[in-house]
Amino acid sequence: MTSDIRRVGVVGAGAMGAGIAEVCAVRGADVVVVEVVPAALEAGQSRIEASLGTAVARGKISEGDRDAALGRLRFSDSYDELGDRQLVIEAVTEREDVKLSVFQTLDKVVPADGLLASNTSSIPITRLAVATGRPDQVCGLHFFNPAPVMPLVEVVSTLLTSDATREAATAFVAGTLGKSVVQAKDRAGFVVNALLVPYMLSAVRMLESGFATKEDIDTGMVKGCGHPMGPLTLGDMVGLDILYGAALSMYEEFKEPLYAPPPLLSRMIEAGHLGRKTGRGFYTYE
């Protein structure tokens, strides 16, 4: 196992997978992105190219840096392309059965000394680790959306994660990627969501009860508490389905009412109002 990780794989080319791959490539890692759905693979590549173009336009990186990052990225629909990776980060849909299948496949194709990590925000890392023959080499690397912008990553250790794995993952995130790191134990919500999700759900309940308007709730937290955005705007940005899934996972683990998804949140998801990505959540978007 090496602490100098330079060859990285990312499974999943959605918003999080593409963002993680972009961060790794910009910071000098050789990156392979695997996505088994061809349309999603193409969309992920386009998303990264557009994001890097925006970074150039805003003066965050030079055109040369963009071109170099794109040169360090490869895209494939085959897991076999991960056969030489030192670290593979899973960022597929937030479904335990799908993630378990991915980890079982990665265990077969990634070198025996390679590290496996999940970007999940709600599924216990231990369940994914024990699906492999290397549970001591599995950890959580929880990036925040958008990954190229947000400076924090939670490094999540299970009861089985070795010190060497935790140290190598931390060195990669802090050293190579230049992100701030918080260490978290493997419990639903980790550190950030365990504090953030109940706050966001309280805002939904306040709106649902008619106690305050969505605008006043958000303005109150921005102007009164100095938050960069209100909890309902944040929910729309994160994705209300993601918020619901995280809440449900924490409620199943702790059985505490503050984690229970409010009925309004459930109805919005059933209606397809998931936030910015669908054009409508608590607010309507172009």
Query: Of residues 142, 157, 249, 273, which has the active-site annotation?
Result: 142
Beta-strand pair 115-118/138-143? parallel
Residue 3 has pLDDT above 80, yes or no: no
pLDDT of residue 159: 97
User: Where residue 241 falls among pLDDT bands split at 50, 70, 90?
Assistant: very high
Q: How far apart are CA 107 and CA 135, in angstroms?
A: 10
Query: Of residues 51, 119, 121, 122, which has the active-site annotation?
Result: 121
Q: Output the pTM of the full model.
A: 0.91
Query: Of residues 118, 157, 193, 249, which has the active-site annotation?
Result: 193
Amino acid at 278: T
Residue 215 has pLDDT above 60, yes or no: yes
pLDDT of residue 284: 97
55 against 1, higher pLDDT: 55
Beta-strand pair 138-143/73-76? unpaired
Instruction: Count Cα neighbours of 134 within 13 Å in the Cβ-side half-sphere.
Output: 22
User: Is 215 designated active site?
Assistant: no
pLDDT of residue 145: 87
User: Is 145 designated active site?
Assistant: no
pLDDT, mean of residues 109-135: 95
Q: Indicate the SS3 state at residue 154.
A: strand
Mean pLDDT of the chain: 95
pLDDT, mean of residues 38-46: 95
Query: Of residues 35, 51, 154, 273, which has the active-site annotation?
Result: 154
pLDDT of residue 122: 80
User: Is 273 designated active site?
Assistant: no
Amino acid at 248: L
Residue 2 has pLDDT above 70, yes or no: no
Closest by Cα among 100, 134, 101 to 116: 134
User: Where residue 121 falls among pLDDT bands split at 50, 70, 90?
Assistant: confident
Residue 1 has pLDDT above 80, yes or no: no
pLDDT of residue 95: 87
Residue 178 has pLDDT above 70, yes or no: yes
DSSP 266-277: HHHHHTT--BGG
Residue 186 has pLDDT above 90, yes or no: yes
pLDDT of residue 94: 87
Domains plus CATH for the chain? 7-185 (3.40.50.720), 192-278 (1.10.1040.10)
Q: Indicate the SS3 state at residue 90.
A: strand
User: Is 121 designated active site?
Assistant: yes
Percent of the chain with pLDDT over 70: 99
User: Where residue 63 falls among pLDDT bands split at 50, 70, 90?
Assistant: very high
Q: Which of 7-11, 16-20, 142-146, 280-284 has the lowest mean pLDDT?
A: 142-146
pLDDT, mean of residues 168-182: 97
